[in-house]
Amino acid sequence: MAMDIGTGLALIGAGLAIGAAGIGTGIAQSQIGAAAVGATAEDPKMFGRGIILLVLPETIVILGFVIAILLWLKS
């Protein structure tokens, strides 16, 4: 299957978008998760806030996924 250079570069960009977003989210969630566990240990009422703060970095992965889809569809 023949593919031109532009399509290949677009697909590499799509992979980088998802990969970088996933790594950044993982780093953020590790820090937030540790803080949420500590806050919940001190006050169990903080559990809900900790979960909400843990979900926020997932929006970065969703954005990376959308960008990857747009690049994939454009190629």
Answer yes or no: is 41 within a domain. Answer: yes
Total-model pTM: 0.76
The CA-atom distances, in angstroms, between 9 and each of 12, 45, 52, 53, 56 are 5, 48, 36, 35, 30
Domain count of the fold of the chain: 1
Answer yes or no: is 3 within a domain. Answer: no
In the structure, what pLDDT confidence band is assigned to residue 42 with cuts at 50, 70 and 90?
very high
Residue range of the domain that includes 36: 19-74
Percent of the chain topping pLDDT 70: 99
Answer yes or no: is 37 within a domain. Answer: yes
pLDDT digits (tens, 9 = 90+) for 29-40: 999 999 999 999
CB count in 10 Å sphere of residue 66: 12
pLDDT of residue 74: 83
pLDDT of residue 37: 94
